[in-house]
Amino acid sequence: MEITKISVQARNPERVNLYVDGKFYRGLDRLVALRLGLKPGLTLSPKLVDRLENTQTENSAWEWALRILQTSPKSERDMYRKLERKFEPDLAERVVKKLKDTDLLDDQRFAERLVGELVNSKTKSKKEILLKLRQKGIPNDLARGAVGKVESEEDAVMKLALGKSRKLSADIPWKERYEKVASYLARKGFGYSDIRKVVTKENLDADV
C-alpha cells in the first residue's frame, strides 16, 4: 500500500483526503497527516495504519472536547463523562489529563466561576450552591472553599423573599405572611439569622 496523493478538502482546509494506490483511502485531520509525516510515495504499512487510526481517534477526541468547552466551562468529571460516551475510557482519561495540563480544565477555577454566577443570580443559598458544585463532580474541599468565599446571602434572601411575598394574597395577616416566606427560605437552605434580619414587615410592605 503506497500513498499516491494527499489533497486538502475543499470544504474544510483542516482536513485532507488520503489516496492509496491511486484510490481514495480515507479523510483525516491535516494535523494528523503532518504529525505522522504522511506524503506521496510513503508505504502505508500495517503498523503505520494502526498509528494513523489511533492518532486520528485521539485528535478527534481532543477537537471534540475543545468544541464542548467553547459552549460552556466544564468540571473534570463532566468532561470525562461526555468523552466516555463517544470514546474509550482510557482515551477519555488521556484527553482530560491533557486539558488539565494545558490549563483548559481546572476544577477550582470552574467552582469559583459557578459560585460567582449563582451568587449574582441571587436565587441560591450557600447550601444549594454547595450541592450544585457536588453534582458537577467538584471535590468536597474545593467546593467548600469556593462557597466559603461568599460573604453574605442577604441579597438572595431579599430577592427570594419579595418574590414569594408577591405570590401571596395581600389580605394575609403579617404573621402568616412572615411564616410562609420564612418557611420557604428555610427550605431553600438560608440561615435563620439572615431570614429574620431581611424578612421584615417594612421590607415586604415597601414592595407592595
Q: Could you read off the pLDDT of 78-115 as tens digits, one per residue?
A: 999 999 999 999 999 999 999 999 999 999 999 999 99
Q: What is the DSSP letter of 2?
A: B
pLDDT at 17 over 90: yes
Closest alpha carbon to 204 in 151, 167, 153, 152: 167
**Tally: H helices and E strands in the chain:** 11, 3
Residue 208 has pLDDT above 70, yes or no: no
174 vs 64, more confident:
64
pLDDT digit string, tens, across residues 142-184:
999 999 888 888 889 999 999 998 888 878 888 898 999 999 9
pLDDT at site 100: 95
Per-residue pLDDT at 201: 86
Please tell me the predicted confidence (pLDDT) of residue 174: 87
* Reported pTM: 0.75
What is the structure's pLDDT at 207?
55
How many Cα atoms within 13 Å fall on the side-chain side of residue 111? 27
Model confidence at 130: pLDDT above 80: yes
For residue 67, what pLDDT band results from cuts at 50, 70 and 90?
A: very high
From 140-144, 168-172, 183-187, 194-198, the region with the lowest mean pLDDT: 168-172
End-to-end Cα spacing for the chain: 81
| pLDDT at residue 206 in the model | 62
User: How is 24-48 classified by DSSP, letter by letter?
Assistant: EEEEEEHHHHHHHT--TT-B--HHH
Q: What's residue 96's pLDDT?
A: 97
